[in-house]
Structure 1
Amino acid sequence: MQDLVKTMETNQKAFDLIKKAQSNKTLSSIMGFVGGGLVGWPVGTAIGGGDANWALAGVGAGLIGVSIPISSSANKKTKQAVDVYNSSLGTTTFIEYKPQLKLIANGNGFGMSLSF
């Protein structure tokens, strides 16, 4: 993600979108990690034979559920930023090849030549 941010610094609109995407991704990752811990702790306690606090698991599941649309939003903003940046370039960066097939006849015989 850092490479994208650095690349898009020259295009303000794309840069703003990628920074929002980066913030959303960070928030989503933190919420998902904390939610996973809150779900995992009671599950581990229950497996170990202890008295699990299932309210923690519920809160954790809620955090995981909220982090999913935030992550989806980050992905959409990233794609938008890439589209905005790419459309501002205006030219293609690849070379179009036009292969040519030629029939050759010389003193050695007949043949074909394929050139790119």
Structure 2
Amino acid sequence: MKKLLALVCFFILSMASAQEISMQKGKFFRNGVQISSWETKQLLITNPEAYKYFKTAKNKEAWGGFLIGAGSGLVIGDIVKGAVSDSDYPSGFTYVGAGFIVAAIPILSGRTKKIEKAVDLYNKGLQTTTDTSVFEMNILANSNGYGLQIIF
């Protein structure tokens, strides 16, 4: 029974073998085919440490984009207000908007390195061992639920 279970698991795992993710110019590729950020996230969920870095990078991207958008909106809105009315142009909105844009720069600065680190950790986790005599089966529990880990 144990050999049959190991054989079935071997065939299932060989059919659903994981493939490495590569990153070129900010886009994700698997087997030379571009995949979306959502698909990349779904692949990285299997490696908690890699997923943590990916999630941190995406949060930085979201907050940085929000600050740049809000800052640009405030500056452009103040420019339009100054052009169509008799009020002084550089008002507080311009300074707050410029502050938002400047604050976004350090937030966005480390996101690419975090994504690259997440992809590297995921790819390192896919590398198999060359020792074929090892067979180990464990029951695991984590934040995603319960599972069976088979190492061979």
The TM-score with structure 2 as length reference comes to: 0.54
> What residue ranges of structure 2 are gaps of 5+ in the alignment?
1-36, 129-152
How large is the Cα RMSD of the aligned pairs? 1.7
Q: Which moved more, 1:60-69 or 1:44-53?
A: 44-53
Give the Cα separation in 1 of the matches to 2:113 and 2:92. 33
Deviation of the 1:49 alpha carbon = 4.3
Match of 2:133 in 1: none
Higher Rg: 1
Q: Deviations over 1:70-89 (max 9, x none)?
A: 11222221111111112222
Give the Cα separation in 1 of the matches to 2:70 and 2:106. 16
Q: How does 1:10-21 map to 2 (within 5 A)?
A: 10-21=46-57
Give the Cα separation in 1 of the matches to 2:55 and 2:112. 12
Alignment of 1:59 with 2:92, yes or no, is: no
Match of 1:23 in 2: 59
Give the Cα separation in 2 of the matches to 1:4 and 1:35. 30
Alignment of 1:74 with 2:111, yes or no, is: yes
Deviation of the 1:18 alpha carbon = 0.6
Report how many aligned residue pairs link the two structures: 91
Match of 1:85 in 2: 122
Contact 1:4 1:18 in 2 (8 A): no
State the secondary structure of the residue aligned to 2:77: helix
Give the Cα separation in 1 of the matches to 2:76 and 2:39. 33
Q: Moved runs in structure 1, 4+ residues, more than 6 A?
A: none
Give the Cα separation in 2 of the matches to 1:2 and 1:65. 29
Whose strand proportion is higher, 1 or 2? 2
> What residue ranges of structure 1 are gaps of 5+ in the alignment?
92-116
Q: Calculate percent identity across the aligned residue pairs.
A: 30
Match of 2:34 in 1: none
Whose helix proportion is higher, 1 or 2? 1
Give the Cα separation in 1 of the matches to 2:69 and 2:57. 18
Q: Which moved more, 1:74-83 or 1:32-41?
A: 74-83
